[in-house]
Amino acid sequence: MLIGKKPDIPSSEITPKSLWLDRRRFMTGAAVLGAGLSLPRQWAQAAPLQAAKSPLSTTGEELTPLKDVTTYNNYYEFGTDKSDPAANAGGMKTRPWTVEISGEVAKPVTLGIEDILRLAPVEERIYRHRCVEAWSMVIPWNGFPLSALIKHIEPTSKANFVEFTTIADRASMPGLAYPYLDWPYREGLRMDEAMNPLTILAVGLYGETLENQNGAPLRLVVPWKYGFKGAKSIVRIRFVSDQPATAWNTANPSEYGFYSNVNPNVDHPRWTQAKERRIGDFLRRPTLMFNGYGEQVANLYKGMDLKTYF
């Protein structure tokens, strides 16, 4: 995306990748054995998720290997290099975790992550994941429709948009010391986009609880939009009547629009969006309108000039 100076992260804060990979193997082994070991908090969090396969999953595409999904990330609060989030996010505490629900709702409420997980069964949703930087992946997310939470909350008739705010914890997030974005990270959706059955809140991927670098414990996934819409580690969901400000749109409105629909016909001012590099591939492939989900979502934008509302 933009970016200026790389943060100077002390080597003491960086977990070597080999250690991280070993840790992951250990976690899987512990889960299989059902061992009641007393693991350090961040190790103990990754757990197998029961998830029925959703018919809304994308089929016929090769999944991006877990290693790439968890080590090639954007999470600027932990640094701007793709490897920074995996190296630096281990110290973020994701339990206890609450999400404040406020704004245009009958009853504002703060829900614990456990309450949120009880709202709807977790499903497996295989989605294309297209970053605005013109790379892509195919990820088997574990999550549930955002609409399940919205129905539970009962927004008022004035709620036209939903704003998502993510955690900004200076103690565990070295990137917050740099003004890459106007922290905390914020994103937004129009109400009908939020209610679309494809829009999910993810709590895992590849059948395991989300790693911190992927947005633990709760992140947004909107598969027809560029990846930056997918706010990670959400702490507040606010229902509002006017279009909310978003982190990237505020930082650079001419490059990152509010809608951010994947669109091969509208280039980013500094690069083409007509093609993308699927992580692991050598050659680039054509980008699909709405990331291939046009049948389900094109009607949301009927009559809108997508060059204006990019």
C-beta of 73 vs 104, nearer to ligand MTE: 73
| Minimal CB distance residue for ligand MTE | 227
In contact, 291 and 278? CB cutoff 8 Å: no
C-beta of 43 vs 135, nearer to ligand MTE: 135
C-beta of 127 vs 228, nearer to ligand MTE: 228
What is the closest distance, in whole angstroms, from the C-beta atom of residue 131 to ligand MTE in the complex? 4
C-beta of 73 vs 287, nearer to ligand MTE: 73
Contact residues for 88 (Cβ-Cβ < 8 A; gap 6+): 9, 13, 14, 15, 78, 79, 174
209 phi/psi in degrees, rounded to 5:
-50, 140
152 phi/psi in degrees, rounded to 5:
-65, -35
Q: 3-state DSSP call for residue 194?
A: helix
Amino acid at 262: V
C-beta of 54 vs 260, nearer to ligand MTE: 260
What is the closest distance, in whole angstroms, from the C-beta atom of residue 76 to ligand MTE in the complex? 4
What is the closest distance, in whole angstroms, from the C-beta atom of residue 158 to ligand MTE in the complex? 27
189 phi/psi in degrees, rounded to 5:
-135, 150
Q: Please provide the DSSP assignment of 139-164 as one string.
A: EEEEEEEHHHHHHHH-B-TT--EEEE
What is the closest distance, in whole angstroms, from the C-beta atom of residue 1 to ligand MTE in the complex? 6
What is the closest distance, in whole angstroms, from the C-beta atom of residue 182 to ligand MTE in the complex? 12
Positions that interact with ligand MTE (CB under 6 A): 1, 73-77, 129, 131, 166, 185, 214-215, 227-228, 230-233
Quote the Cα angle for 74-214-197, to 5°: 105
Q: How many helices (H) and strands (E) does the chain have?
A: 9, 13
C-beta of 234 vs 297, nearer to ligand MTE: 234
What is the closest distance, in whole angstroms, from the C-beta atom of residue 176 to ligand MTE in the complex? 10
